[in-house]
Amino acid sequence: MTARPLFGCGTALVTPFDPDGSIDEASLRALVEWQISEGIHFLVPCGSTGEAQTMSLAEQRRVVSITVEVAAGRVPVVAGASSSDTRRAIEQSLEMQKAGATHLLHSSPAYNKPPQRGIVRHFKAIAEAVDLPIVAYNVPGRTASNMTADTTLALADVPNIVAIKEASGDLSQVERILRDRPPGFGVLSGDDALALPLMVMGGDGVISVVSNVTPRVMVMLVEAAASGDYETARAMHELLGPWMDAAFVESNPIPAKAALTMVRRIQNVLRLPLVPLAAEHTPTVRAALVAAGVLEERDE
């Protein structure tokens, strides 16, 4: 199928939960609508930020269905469907396809640590089984293995693998991918702090955690960078710098959910083994949101 190219800022959505641990569907609907009204370019539910590892397949499908319903074709919906079991990844992908996702997001397998040729076969098997375009995700900090530039470029030749979300932190690796990628293959930062340098190098945008709370400013950053207005892009990067740091004082999405609670978007509920933000980090997150202009100092 033909899909719109992914470009700009996509939000790696948190999944709001009620105090009993069930999906808070009303808050999810409101969050998706607000993200779109703030100008976000695409949405990414059911990734690691969405706590997909603690959700059943039925719950993941429900979250994606709601996101698709509220988005109503206004922005692409890139559904996370990752698994370290290739057969399960295909099963999840087919369910996300039925739920109406426009794209799929798949990280390289975690824990079992296949060699590079196994990573290639994993992605190719998924691509052969589904019709949707796929964004591959390289995140060594979670998977314990790096997808090399050669592996990413091999996947770029697969027709429905359309982009890479690169979170290796290795800009020389990103530079190689950007230099040698085929036409139409997107390169997106998986690290908020590296979105600006990646776009200066010729990349296409970011899948962002901080845009859960500051979507408009992150959109301004990537749009300015894309247009060559690096002065504005740097100003937005500096404005968000404290929040980019604070968003990772503990494992994602712990700080993001605390921040969204501070700005009254969701309830601060996570599923074990994740737990709410430690009290000693609360002032850091709050101060970062004040610096970003999304929270008044007096707000509680």
Assess contact for 126 and 89: CB atoms under 8 A.
Answer: yes
pLDDT, residue 262, reads 98
| Rounded-to-integer distance, Cα 185 and Cα 44, Å | 18
Residue 1 pLDDT > 90: no
Q: Of residues 98, 111, 124, 137, which has the active-site annotation? A: 137
What's the rounded mean pLDDT across residues 84-89? 97
pLDDT of residue 199: 97
Question: What percentage of the chain reaches a pLDDT higher than 70?
Answer: 97
Confidence check: pLDDT of 79 > 70: yes
For 248-297, the pLDDT digits (tens) are 999 999 999 999 999 999 999 999 999 999 999 999 999 999 999 999 87
Express each pLDDT in 183-234 by its tens digit: 999 999 999 999 999 999 999 999 999 999 999 999 999 999 999 999 999 9
The per-residue pLDDT for range 96-118, each reduced to its tens digit, is 999 999 999 999 999 999 999 99
Which residue in 98, 111, 113, 165 is the catalytic one?
165
Is residue 165 part of the annotated active site? The answer reads yes
Nearest to residue 95, comparing CAs of 118, 120, 62?
62
pLDDT of 300 higher than 80 = no
Catalytic annotation present for 113: no
Q: What is the pLDDT of residue 34?
A: 98
48-73 pLDDT, tens per residue? 999 999 999 999 999 999 999 999 99
Q: What is the pLDDT of residue 2?
A: 42
pLDDT at 203: 97
Matching residue, tokens 């698709």: 68
**What is the pLDDT at residue 297?**
78
pLDDT of residue 5: 66
In the chain, where the domains are located: 8-227
Q: Which CATH architecture has domain 8-227?
A: Alpha-Beta Barrel (3.20)
In this structure, the number of other CB atoms found within 10 A of the CB of residue 65 comes to 19
DSSP letters, the chain, are ---PPP-EEEEE----B-TTSSB-HHHHHHHHHHHHHTT-SEEE-SSTTTTGGGS-HHHHHHHHHHHHHHHTTSS-BEEE---SSHHHHHHHHHHHHHTT-SEEEEEPPPSS---HHHHHHHHHHHHHH-SS-EEEEE-HHHHSSPPPHHHHHHHHTSTTEEEEEE-S--HHHHHHHHHHPPTT-EEEESSGGGHHHHHHTT--EEEESGGGT-HHHHHHHHHHHHHT-HHHHHHHHHHHHHHHHHTTSSSTTHHHHHHHHHTTSS-----TT--PPPGGGHHHHHHHHHHHTSS-TT--
Averaged confidence pLDDT in the chain: 96
Task: Give which of 5, 75, 25, 31 is closest to 211, Cα–Cα.
Answer: 31
Q: Is the pLDDT of residue 41 over 60?
A: yes
Q: Are 247 and 192 in contact (CB under 8 A)?
A: yes
